[in-house]
Each structure stands twice: as C-alpha cells, then as structure tokens.
Amino acid sequence: MIQILIRYSTLLFLTLLVLAFMSFSLAYLFPGDPLENLTGLVPQNEMQREALTRQFKLDGPYLIQFFHYVENMLAGNWGYSFTSGLPLREEVGIALPATIELATYAMLMALFIGIPLGYYAGMRCYSTSDHVINSTSITTYSFPVFWFALLLILIFSLQLDSAPLSGRISLLYDIEPITGFIIVDILLSELANKPLALKDAFSHLALPTLAIGAITTASMIRITRRSVIDVKHRPYIAAAVSRGLSSWQIFFRHILRNALLPILPLMAIQITTLITNAMIVETLFSWPGIGNWLIQAIYQRDYPALRVGMMAVSTVVITLTILVDLFNRLIDPSREKYERATV
Amino acid sequence: MPQFSLYDEEFHPSPWQRTWLSFKSSHIAMVGLAMLGLFVIFSVFAPILTPYTAIEQNIDGLLLPPSWLPNGSISHIFGTDALGRDLFTLIIYGCRITLGSAFVTVVLAMLVGVSIGTIAGMLRGLRSSIVNHLLDALMAIPTLLIAIIIVAILGTGLVNSMWAITLALIPQFVHHTRSFVRAEMKKEYIVASKLDGANKWQLFFHSILPNMIEMLVVQGTLALSIAVIDISALGFLNLGAQASQPELGVILADGLDVAYLAPWNVAVPGMAIFLLVLSINIVGDGLRSALRKRVSH
C-alpha cells in the first residue's frame, strides 16, 4: 500500500517536472522573444530589458533558468497576459474552475445515467431494449460535439427560447467569485434572492452540460454494457447459476461490483476526451472557462497565456488521471499482482 | 477400387473469411459499410462526381435553398453557400479532405504507436516501468491543447492540425499494443519460437505482428472516427484547415455566419460529418463483434 503510494507520487512528481520543462521550453519554441514569452512583460528600452533578463536569470545556462522558472511557478509568479496585462494566475484561477465545474456535472450525468443504462442493456443483452439502447448510444457517440451544441442552441435557445444562449449567469446577479464554482459561490454569497440566482445559473448550465454529457454518457453506456456482458460469461457466474441463485442475487453479489472494475481505467481515458469536449463547447456557449480563454489566446497569439494555460490544464488532467489510476490499483488487487509480476 | 465417401466440397473458411461471414450476417454493419463505401467513393472520385469545382462561384445564386425546398432548383442539390458555391460539391470535396487526412493521420499514429508499444511491451524491469507510466501520464494531455500548442509554434494549417491529432492518437495504439505484446509474450508459441533461437525482431515480425493485425484494424477504425471528429473540430475552431480548403468543419464554420438566413448551410455539413463518423463507428462495431464471435466459437 505505502509502496504503491510512493510509486504513484514519484510518478506524479516526475510527470509534472516533465510538463514544467515542456512549458518552459515553449517560451523558446514560440515565435518572438523568449523573455517576453516567459514573463509577458514587454521591455521598453535596453536597460529595462537587461534588468528583466537579470531578474529572471535568463543570462544563465538553461538549467538554472529552468529551476528559476519552476521556483517562480511554485511561488505563483506566472507572468502577465499580453492582451489584458493582468497576472495570469488570477485569470487562470477564474477560468479553470468554470471548466472543471462544467466537466464535473457532465461526468456526474454520465455516471448517473450511463452506468445504470449500461447495466440494464448488459443484463438484457441482445434483446430489443438492449438494441435500442446500444444503437442510441452509438448514434449519440457519433455526433461531433460542436455540431451537437449548435443544434441544442438552435432548438432550445433560438426556436423554443427556453434556455439562455451564453455565459454563466445573468448580469443581474453580482456573484463574488470565491471558489470559482458558480453554484457554490451563489450558496456562499449574501444575495437577497438566492433561489432565483440558482435557477438562473442552472438554466445557463443546462445546455453546455447536456452537450458534453450526452457524448460522455453514450461512451459510458457502451463501456459498461461490454463489461457486464464480459462478466456474465465468466465461469463463476455459471457456478452461481448452477447453485440456484436468482438472477437478482447474481446481479447484486457477483456482477455489480465485478463489472465496475474494468470501467475505472477506461474512465481515466474519458477524462481527456471530456476536457477536450468541454473546451470546444465553451467557445460555442461563451462559457468563461479555460477552453474559451485558451482559444481566445491563440487567436490573439498571447504566448504567455498559452504557456501557462497548457501547464494548468495538463496538470489538472494528469493529476486526475493518475489519481483514478491509483484508486483503481488500490481497490483491485488482481491488477496489482499483474503489475508486480511484470515490473 | 475402394470407394471412399470423401466429401470434397467441404468448406474451411480462413479466419478472415469467417470474420467476413459473421460481419455479413449483421444487417446494420452492412448498411454502415455501404455508407462508408459511398463516402470513400465520393472522396476518391470527387472531381468526376461533382458538377462544379470546389471554388466555382455562382454570383447569381447566393444562398440558394436546397432542391427539396419550394425555391430550390435541381442544379444545386444542397443549395449554395454565401459565396455562391455549390454545397453538394463542397461537401464531397470536404469528405475527401477530412476523410483523407484522417486516414493519413491514423496510419502515421499506428506506425509510431505500434513501434513504441512493442518496445514498451518487450522491455523488462525499471526501464519498462518508467517508459510505460510516464508515457501513459504524458499522453493524457487533451487533443485540443496539443493542437493549440502546435498551432502557436508552427501556425495554422491542415498539415499542422494533422500533426497534433497524430500525437493525440498515438497513446491508444501504444496502450493496446503494449498490453497485447505483454499478453502474447507469455504464450507457448512465443516460448517455442524463443527456444528455436528467434531474436526479438523475428519474434515480433513472424509471431506477434500477424496475430496483432486484427486488433490493429479494430483500433484503426476507432481512431479513424476520432480523427474525423477532431480534424473537423479544429477546422471549425479555425485552428486547422483554412477557408480556402473545403474541409467539413470549415464549411460548417462558414455556414454559421449565415445560420439565420440559410440554416441548411449548418445542417448539411454537420449531417455529413455525423454520417461519416456514424458509418465508421458502425463498421468498427460490427468488425469488433464479428472478431469476438470468431474468437469465442
């Protein structure tokens, strides 16, 4: 147990170090001056440039520069944006939680709709209801997320006028960002009409969550269904049947938990797709998240923002992936044995 | 002369024939294959099949509605866009670019992924652990992020977005190849080859690779559908193909400007991407269940 924890924390540390190095080298790979790319400050004259170079230790060898860069990142000096001139840490601090919030709700939707439907389809495999669920999920899975979001906007926002088109919350409500998660912020705030604000926030959330969640749900259904069918063909299920257990007993005692095991590592892969989809959908709904922010940054060639954004998003995704992997390994001893045998 | 009752006509289907037979028995899979075939024919023979060229503008007919609407004409089946280009022609050329670049991307990713995966699968000890875990973790970076970084370094363009998607597709090939190679290395026939004195190179090419091809085909179709979606998404976000290239995502983004006036400019390209991805997914699914049926029987 402790050995596993140590191994995974080393892995996390090493990966983050590689990421930091990639982010540092981006300053040199991007077009333009590495000093400007690294700090986001544009020196007005030679003296200022020299001072900045000395301050950021850019005159030293690359290794020293890199250590100084990591030090700065840890201390929270992430540089400034070219376009807004604001400290990047603040901007990321506002944008990143918005994306995580969206992705979390979509993931919850996938878990609470996708997994039960997948179990249902798997238990009734090759029946009519299974075929209906399976074909619906293949169809949904094939939707390009940007087109799906556009269709939702066309139908619900423009035709039916039942959901707002863009943003996180109506401008009528002045919500102080404390945690960055809009629902939590509303609950924490001292607003007079909290229920109204909550309702407004939910109506803003509905369409983007649906757009991202539907596709994740579809793949979750497919993964779960496959896993349940695989488990159903195992010898221990045949043994349970021959012992005379009812199908409900078999489901609850044997299938339910065993089918969940292969789902977890696949969920880790889903996180990447989920964040990509969230980033695309954000641009369509003008959701003030990190995806929208990064896409604006690339349109305006805001290199410091891209460097920091890349670091922030990949840190979140990789930490989550490694955590899911670790969790998976802790609850699944058979996997651990397999890994030990090969490592 | 003794009379043997030999049954000459006995038919022993080869593994591929058996896969094809069980694939054929699923009607949905066949419909998907026909749709995919249609798309492939469209994209290969685009210049012959289209009535106009991709950049030909009909100044007298801007935003003509599709032929099934009262005002539409049969000379433009799907209508025209804001520049007077024939939408049907654009879509066919779009399929050509999107499907073609997705295919190239997948083949590249497969080559690189299989090589890395094999090396990672055959390695032992600490080296294998480091390679595997670090690769796993680093490859979790989202596609869009890789694309944004590559666009920032190299600039926009279809080829640059293809590089980004290749990078993003490699991990799943690495992953599957690695676990496949690991599982195969423990089987008897590999041990037998080893005892015959085969080196690792020979083991891979003569023993493992032939068994891996089916897995690669299935993974390839999966990757192809992801690549089509990603290429069109990057085109849609103006990070991939540029407006001069009729790529399905770019056509959709162009149509978005006139979505109120001419909704078919959004509906038709989106539908084309959707059907393309759907047909690839159906074929992939059919292939997978056919292979599964063959292995389990």
Tell me what the pLDDT averaged over chain A comes to. 84
Q: Is residue B23 part of a domain?
A: no
B39 vs A181, higher pLDDT: B39
* Mean pLDDT, rounded, for B283-289: 89
Q: Does the structural domain A93-299 have CATH classification 1.10.3720.10? A: yes
CA distance A149 to B254: 16
Count of beta carbons in the 10 Å neighbourhood of residue A93:
15
Tokens describing residue A343: 């490592």
| Three-state DSSP state, B106 | helix
Q: Which residue of B has its CA nearest to A275?
A: B142
> Cα(A287)–Cα(A103) distance, rounded to whole angstroms?
12
- Please name the member of B136, B153, B277 whose beta carbon is closest to the beta carbon of A142: B277
Of B57-66, B169-178, B277-286, where does the model show the most confidence? Answer: B277-286
Q: Residues A55-84: what's their mean pLDDT?
A: 82
pLDDT attached to residue B99: 92
Q: Does B53 touch chain A (CB under 8 A)?
A: no
Q: Cα separation of A169 and A186, whole Å?
A: 10
d(CA A168, CA A200): 9
| Model confidence band, residue B54 (pLDDT cutoffs 50, 70, 90) | confident
Tell me, what's the pLDDT at B7? 63
Q: How confident is the model at residue A156 (pLDDT cuts 50, 70, 90)?
A: confident
Q: Enumerate residues 6+ apart whose C-beta is below 8 A from A5.
A: A326
On chain B, the residues whose CB falls within 8 A of the CB of A133 are none
Contact state of B278 with A295 under an 8 Å Cβ cutoff: no
Q: Can you give the CATH number for the domain in which B146 is found?
A: 1.10.3720.10
Which residues in A lie closer than 8 A to residue B259 (C-beta atoms)? 150, 154
Look over chain B and give the mean of its residue pLDDT values, rounded to a whole number. Answer: 85
Are A318 and B143 an interchain contact pair (Cβ–Cβ within 8 Å)?
Answer: no
Reported as a pLDDT band with limits 50, 70 and 90, residue B279 is: very high
In order of A251, A263, B61, B295, the CA distances from A237 in angstroms are 9, 19, 66, 20
A272 with B232: Cβ contact below 8 A: no
A214 and A149 in contact (C-beta within 8 Å)? Answer: no
pLDDT in the model for residue B5: 65
Residue B288, exposed/middle/buried by CB under 10 A (0-12, 13-18, 19+)?
buried
User: Which tops the pLDDT comparison, A280 or A36?
Assistant: A280
- Residue B226 domain-assigned? yes
SS3 call for B118 = helix
Express each pLDDT in B63-87 by its tens digit.
Answer: 788 888 888 778 888 888 888 888 8
Query: Which chain B residues are within 8 Å of A279, Cβ to Cβ?
Result: 142, 144-145
Give the domain range for residue B278. 40-296
pLDDT of B196 higher than 60? yes
Measured between beta carbons, the chain A residues lying within 8 angstroms of B256 are 150
A70-84, A300-314, B87-101, B133-147: least confident range: B133-147
> From A158, which residue of chain B is nearest by alpha-carbon distance?
B260
pLDDT, average across residues B189-211: 88
pLDDT band for A1, please (50, 70, 90 cuts). Answer: confident
* Inter-helix orientation angle A128-142/B264-296, to 10°: 130
Residue % of chain A over a pLDDT of 90: 11
Share of chain A above pLDDT 70, in %: 97
Distance CA B274, CA B266 (A): 12
According to the model, what pLDDT value does residue A339 have?
Answer: 41
Q: Is residue B33 part of a domain?
A: no
Chain A hits for B238, CB-CB cut-off 8 Å, are: 299
Q: Are A217 and A110 in contact (CB under 8 A)?
A: yes
- Alpha-carbon gap: B35 to the closest alpha carbon of chain A (Å): 14
SS (H, E, C) chain A: CHHHHHHHHHHHHHHHHHHHHHHHHHHHHCCCCHHHHHHCCCCCCHHHHHHHHHHCCCCCCHHHHHHHHHHHHHHCCCCECCCCCCEHHHHHHHHHHHHHHHHHHHHHHHHHHHHHHHHHHHHCCCCHHHHHHHHHHHHHHHCCHHHHHHHHHHHHHHHCCCCCCCCCCCCCCCCCCCCCCHHHHHHHCCCCCHHHHHHHHHHHHHHHHHHHHHHHHHHHHHHHHHHHHHHHCCHHHHHHHHCCCCHHHHHHHHHHHHHHHHHHHHHHHHHHHHHHHHHHHHHHHCCCCHHHHHHHHHHCCCHHHHHHHHHHHHHHHHHHHHHHHHHHHHHCHHHHHHHHHHC
B154 is a domain residue = yes
Mean pLDDT along residues A310-319: 88
pLDDT band at B8 (very low <50, low <70, confident <90, very high): low
Q: What is the pLDDT of residues A37-48, one digit of tens each?
A: 777 777 788 888
The number of folded domains in chain B is 1
All CATH 1.10.3720.10 domain ranges of chain A, comma separated, are 93-299
Residue B4, in any domain of the structure: no
For the residues B205-228, what does the mean pLDDT come to?
89
B41 has pLDDT over 50? yes
Closest CB to B274 among A12, A147, A301: A147
Residue B143 lies in a domain: yes
Check residue B155 and give left, alpha or beta (phi > 0: left; psi -120 to 50: alpha): left
Closest CA to A38 of A23, A49, A48: A23
Q: Is the per-residue pLDDT at A341 higher than 70?
A: no
Nearest CA among B278, B157, B102 for reference residue A147: B278
Kindly report, residue by residue over A262-300, the tens digit of the pLDDT.
888 778 778 888 888 998 999 888 888 898 899 888 888
Residue count of chain B: 297
SS3 content of chain B, % helix, strand, coil (to 5): 70, 0, 30
- Where would I find the H helices in B45-83? 46-49
In a domain, B185, yes or no: yes
pLDDT value at B105 more than 90: yes
Position with higher pLDDT, A178 vs B178 = B178
Task: Tell me whether residue B70 is in a domain.
Answer: yes
pLDDT at residue A343, rounded to an integer: 24
> Cα A66–A71–A75 angle (5° rounding)?
145
